[in-house]
Amino acid sequence: MNPKLKKIFSWVIVYPLMIILCFEIALRILGYGGYHNENYSISAEPANAFVGDARYGIKLNPGTYEITLNNKVSFSTTHDQNNRRIVSDESYQDADIIFLGCSFTYGYGVDNDECFPSLIQQELSSEVVSNFGVPGYGTIQSLLQLQEYLKEHSPSLVLLNFSSLHFMRNTLSQEFRSNLRIGYRHSSKDVDTRLEKARFPYMRECGTEVKYVSWKEMYTNWPGRDWSASVNWMQSLIDRYKDEGLNSLKVSACIIEEMNVICREKGVGFGIVFLDSTPEVNQLKEMLEGISTLDMKFDFKSSKYTNLPYDSHPNQKGNKLIASRIIPFIDDLISNE
């Protein structure tokens, strides 16, 4: 080979490859590896218990389903025509108390009559309770649900069940995008078909309109990320950089304040149940002056009150515990109206 060509080849091909190889080895020595996703299996009979939606991202498909999580936790669930899980035989159109939230409110992992909104309905027989909880929702979806429902209905009380998971969902952080897109695709083979028309809402700054991102545009792993420590490290670094500019705490507070204003203008009571306790959740509570709150401090790592090691959602005992703590809170809110 011509010496000049050989030199060019070395600088253009050989040396860069050597640098990349050395960087890969160094990262491996430091404990880094390719992208690893915790496998989470979801199966439903019949299929399509949860489908894509252009307003909420995910929506409950009407019908009764038998769902199994990680081949171990099975439960029966029924969805009505209004994107809600069945609580009782009463009409959801004239609910007295509505619960807003995610899979914890929905009752992921327990039967219809075992989730805490149903247990509260059983205890408060004079009130009509409605469960608006949907797996994967953040507070941003709860705001959209509330806006839609209060156009024609006036419940006595609205309870928002807040989880620390909602922070990244409200702003649709890179961390949440990757968890949702990659994790959901691993959990179900037909997810791309079911969520083909899905658009997920998010907010980046207070006072701005709700924005949307489609399922296809949600997140994409770089080529080679699954096996290359270098690619995984670089994409993770860029993801963290993109998320640094997000103020999920402030945005979440603004969303909740807007919900409170909407309820107050309608003469509807409003309260928040903080399901878990983190430094960020504690900061959020301090920012929400004048809103009634309940600190649940539920232990999502407890095998006694969750379906661990197969799933971290509250089990039957966990839902009973949550219901027992919320009922006195509801009594106080109603008596102070």
Predicted local distance difference test score (pLDDT) of residue 15: 58
Predicted local distance difference test score (pLDDT) of residue 90: 57
Tell me: do 27 and 105 sit in the same domain: no
Asked if residue 103 lies in contact with residue 136, where contact means CB atoms within 8 angstroms, the answer is yes
Q: Does some domain include residue 277? A: yes
Rounded distance, CA 40 to CA 37, Å? 9
Tell me: do 105 and 58 sit in the same domain: yes
Tell me: do 121 and 49 sit in the same domain: yes
Please name the amino acid found at residue 324. S
Predicted local distance difference test score (pLDDT) of residue 11: 47
Q: Does some domain include residue 52? A: yes
Residue 130's CB is within 10 A of a number of other CB atoms, namely 28
pTM higher than the cut 0.85? yes
Distance of CA 68 to the CA centre of its chain: 19
DSSP string, 252-284: HHHHHHHHHHHHHHHT-EEEEEE-S--HHHHHH
Tell me: do 11 and 145 sit in the same domain: no
Structure tokens, 198: 């899905």
Rounded distance, CA 107 to CA 85, Å? 9
Beta bridge partners of 69: 42, 73
Rounded distance, CA 326 to CA 117, Å? 10
Q: Does some domain include residue 221? A: no
CATH of residue 146's domain is: 3.40.50.1110
Rounded distance, CA 154 to CA 93, Å? 10
What stretches in the chain show pLDDT beneath 70?
1-17, 23, 89-93, 186-189, 337
Distances (CA, A) of 26 to 14, 20, 33, 202: 18, 10, 11, 38
Q: Does some domain include residue 238? A: no
Tell me: do 172 and 305 sit in the same domain: yes
Tell me: do 125 and 259 sit in the same domain: yes
Could you give the number of structural domains in the chain?
Answer: 2
Coil vs helix vs strand at 28: helix
Tell me: do 27 and 46 sit in the same domain: no
Rounded distance, CA 238 to CA 173, Å? 12
Coil vs helix vs strand at 50: strand
Q: Does some domain include residue 316? A: yes
Tell me: do 67 and 160 sit in the same domain: yes
Name residue, tokens 């909407």.
Answer: 262
pLDDT tens for each residue of 68-127: 998 899 999 999 999 999 987 654 558 999 999 999 999 999 999 999 999 999 999 888
Q: Does some domain include residue 6? A: yes
Tell me: do 16 and 51 sit in the same domain: no
Asked if residue 174 lies in contact with residue 32, where contact means CB atoms within 8 angstroms, the answer is no
Tell me: do 23 and 46 sit in the same domain: no
Asked if residue 38 lies in contact with residue 178, where contact means CB atoms within 8 angstroms, the answer is no
Distance of CA 29 to the CA centre of its chain: 35
Please name the amino acid found at residue 302. S
Nearest Cα residue to 187 out of 136, 149, 228: 136
Strands (E), the chain: 42-45, 50-53, 57-60, 63-69, 73-79, 97-100, 129-131, 157-162, 199-202, 211-214, 269-274, 292-295
Rounded distance, CA 139 to CA 147, Å? 12
**Residues whose CB falls within 8 Å of the CB of residue 17, separated by 6 or more in sequence, listed in order:** none
Q: Does some domain include residue 222? A: no
Tell me: do 7 and 70 sit in the same domain: no
Asked if residue 91 lies in contact with residue 82, where contact means CB atoms within 8 angstroms, the answer is no
Predicted local distance difference test score (pLDDT) of residue 337: 63
CA Rg, the chain, in Å? 23
Q: Does some domain include residue 241? A: no
Domain span at residue 21 reads 1-31
Tell me: do 1 and 86 sit in the same domain: no
